[in-house]
Amino acid sequence: MEAATRPRDNALTNRLMVIDPAHGIAHTAVAELPAWLRAGDLLVVNDAATVPASLHGTFAGAPIELRLAAPTDDPVVWQAVVFGAGDWRTRTENRPAPPSLTPGDALRFGDALTATVLRVSERSTRLVMVRFAPDGDRFWRLLYALGRPVQYAHAAGDFALYDVQTVYAGRPWSVEMPSAGAPLRWSLLDALAARGVAVARLTHAAGLSATGDDALDAMLPLPERYEIPQETVDAVARAKTAGGRVVAVGTSVVRALEGSVRTHGVLTAGACETDLRVGEGTARRVVDAVLSGMHEPGTSHFELLTAFVGRALLQRATAEGEGRGYLVHEFGDSCLVLA
């Protein structure tokens, strides 16, 4: 399938493929999502805002790009991936390797922002833990002044930070947009409410989708932070008691909800981290359906969908989507997968 290269003017016109093991495959538009859900269902969204996670700078005079990969409990300490010279216009797999880094090395971004390497991963020398200086409010001001959204070579032009936010975005935790929620608009959420579909939220730090390094890409998704409010735990309990379905908006919501159950035994409010990889054979304890982007076989997102429906049906859906011109990536079309 081809990639969407820019946001559509009206995201509600994005195509929506409904994949239902009981009834097959249907084709409609995102605006028609309420027709496929019913009173008592619960839609759970990821309200993490997207940070400008791409920073261009230098190390020992050589140009580098640092892409933030995951926040930590310390606001100025981040896991990150280092790239050599170039930018998003070059495919990640074709980017030159960065200089070799060791703990204590300082990366410089402009005149005021630095990142000191704290640790280099044993599995990939491009994966590092860094501490930024200055700290506090000055760090955030400099990050937003110097950083750009992470993007890839399929894009038609520079994204604005506004382009990679969901309408309900809150805390700045994600380094890439939780893109399953990208086409949702307040008018659509209002239409769902009018149908009796409740909406709940959680915050999950969606990470990088690709680095171009085979060893590092095999590690994705990295462990990611999430926080589930008590009101969301209560909303899930109400939906389950009433016979409604829990519909996750995006793979990050699936990982947070199911990761919480795996860690605690039951869905539990609070902050935690998950390294859960969902796929064929994964026992789902919370999520009944997922609203996602279109994903091609071989990707981790496609593998996650095999926890909901059989691989053969997903492959048939992919073939139909390709034949009908469905688009992939962050501004692409959507699918609703019903188990």
pLDDT digits 0-9 by tens, 245-279: 999 999 999 999 999 999 999 999 999 999 999 98
| Amino acid at the residue 309 | V
Secondary-structure class of domain 54-146 per CATH: mainly beta
Is the pLDDT at 298 greater than 90? The verdict is no
The H or E element containing residue 131 is strand 127-133
DSSP-derived 3-state class of residue 113: strand
Report CA 197 to chain centroid distance, whole Å: 23
Backbone angles phi, psi at 221, to 5 degrees: -75, 140
* pLDDT score, position 225: 96
279 compared with 231, residue with greater pLDDT = 231
Q: Is the pTM of this model over 0.75?
A: yes
Answer whether 24's CB lies under 8 Å from 17's CB: no
Answer whether 146's CB lies under 8 Å from 241's CB: no
Q: Where in the chain is the domain with CATH 2.40.10.240?
A: 54-146
* CA gap 133, 136 in Å, rounded: 9
Q: Where in the chain is the domain with CATH 3.40.1780.10?
A: 2-50+164-338
* pLDDT score, position 339: 81
* CA gap 19, 35 in Å, rounded: 14
Q: Does domain 2-50+164-338 have CATH number 3.40.1780.10?
A: yes
